[in-house]
Homo-oligomer: A and B are copies of this chain.
């Protein structure tokens, strides 16, 4: 077996024990809360982890891009929710092809989007559509329960489409507002005699409040499999839960207080997510990653009692945000007990469209 210190850097390491524990913990929590789990694969982009979550009890997966859905369908995943408005002729034809071979449902938040879906699916195998609801995130989504009802009625009246429910991605920390929004919407739908088979919400930051998701039937966490520094900051994880690290090498130490590593924004991304600095180094908790160029990371090691890492030393970094990190690497290294188990291609990496 290869010990991980023999890997060329920068490299992404996935601690399998931690990732598997994170999958199990979330499934158990969802079971306890009476929620179905539909994990988002954007974080790992690996069919094996999509399947692992399903084997533990997940009802299917969530994808954000058609390209991700195509990779997962090719790998044998048969039930997915695509939480993105599909717009334009090219994408609609790809969606139609996917709908012929797997169960795939999508969201819509406008009459324009619904019209495109209906024109594509009329006369063929029907497509399941959920109404995306803006419950506080300020991104996509209809703006009120009444608007959700109106769009659902449009979907119901549209050839080729079947209304399947409501979807939201709540703003972090605003799960109570989201729950209230969805409860009002469900009451409105019921008063109108429209069944709402699925009410799906999500987000790793508030995953341990999923039991307070009210009328929701389904939860869609993504980051939970790996966790990261932003999730630790949100209180959703500890550093000991973090399964993904970026292994880097100290390549320069120009001053006593400054060390330079070979991981910059092309390895760690520039995502700050409200944090200061660009990652956490468990072996040197007093070292700060104060700056990133594309291929260099600048460490302030002036606070390290032992002087910090030396030139040539490899250090593992918990990034601010693990999801875009896996999108930068063609391969990740699966590790157990400090030993390399397998190096795998990130199958859905770069599936941007």
In the complex, residue of chain B having the shortest beta-carbon distance to the beta carbon of A265: B324
Min C-beta distance of A41 to chain B, whole Å: 12
Proximity bits, A116-128, B CB within 8 Å = 1, else 0: 1000000000000
Q: Which of A135-182 contact B (CB under 8 A)?
A: 138-143
Q: Which of A301-353 contact B (CB under 8 A)?
A: 311-312, 323-324, 327-330, 350, 352-353
Min C-beta distance of A306 to chain B, whole Å: 18
Across the interface, do B352 and A251 meet the contact criterion of CB distance under 8 Å? no
In the complex, residue of chain B having the shortest beta-carbon distance to the beta carbon of A255: B143
Proximity bits, A81-113, B CB within 8 Å = 1, else 0: 000110110110000000000000000011011
Across the interface, do B324 and A350 meet the contact criterion of CB distance under 8 Å? no
User: Bound complex: CA of A116 vs CA of B293, how far in Å?
Assistant: 24
The segment from A5-13, A14-22, A206-214 found at the interface with B is A5-13
Whether, in the assembled complex, A201 has its beta carbon less than 8 Å from a beta carbon of chain B, the answer is no
User: Bound complex: CA of A328 vs CA of B10, how far in Å?
Assistant: 17
Min C-beta distance of A258 to chain B, whole Å: 7
Q: Which of A277-297 contact B (CB under 8 A)?
A: 291, 293-296
Q: Which of B139, B296, B323 is the one whose CB lies under 8 Å from A298?
A: B139
Whether, in the assembled complex, A269 has its beta carbon less than 8 Å from a beta carbon of chain B, the answer is yes
User: Bound complex: CA of A254 vs CA of B353, how far in Å?
Assistant: 21
In the complex, residue of chain B having the shortest beta-carbon distance to the beta carbon of A88: B249
Across the interface, do A87 and B296 meet the contact criterion of CB distance under 8 Å? no
Number of chain A residues close to chain B: CB under 8 A: 60
Q: Which of A45-81 contact B (CB under 8 A)?
A: 64-65
Q: Which of B112, B271, B296, B312 is the one whose CB lies under 8 Å from A270?
A: B271
Across the interface, do A142 and B266 meet the contact criterion of CB distance under 8 Å? no
Copies of this protein chain in the complex: 2
Q: Which of B138, B298, B350 is the one whose CB lies under 8 Å from A329?
A: B350
User: Bound complex: CA of A112 vs CA of B249, how far in Å?
Assistant: 13
Across the interface, do A266 and B87 meet the contact criterion of CB distance under 8 Å? no
User: Bound complex: CA of A324 vs CA of B45, how far in Å?
Assistant: 20
Q: Which of B84, B143, B265 is the one whose CB lies under 8 Å from A262?
A: B84
Min C-beta distance of A349 to chain B, whole Å: 8
User: Bound complex: CA of A116 vs CA of B311, how far in Å?
Assistant: 11
Whether, in the assembled complex, A30 has its beta carbon less than 8 Å from a beta carbon of chain B, the answer is no
Whether, in the assembled complex, A220 has its beta carbon less than 8 Å from a beta carbon of chain B, the answer is no
Whether, in the assembled complex, A267 has its beta carbon less than 8 Å from a beta carbon of chain B, the answer is yes
Q: Which of B87, B249, B295 is the one whose CB lies under 8 Å from A65?
A: B295
Whether, in the assembled complex, A229 has its beta carbon less than 8 Å from a beta carbon of chain B, the answer is no
Q: Which of A258-276 contact B (CB under 8 A)?
A: 258, 260, 262, 265-267, 269-272
Across the interface, do A110 and B294 meet the contact criterion of CB distance under 8 Å? no
User: Bound complex: CA of A295 vs CA of B254, how far in Å?
Assistant: 38
Whether, in the assembled complex, A42 has its beta carbon less than 8 Å from a beta carbon of chain B, the answer is yes
Whether, in the assembled complex, A241 has its beta carbon less than 8 Å from a beta carbon of chain B, the answer is no
In the complex, residue of chain B having the shortest beta-carbon distance to the beta carbon of A6: B90
Q: 8 tightest A-B contacts by CB?
A: A270-B270, A140-B252, A85-B251, A112-B311, A8-B90, A8-B353, A64-B295, A270-B271
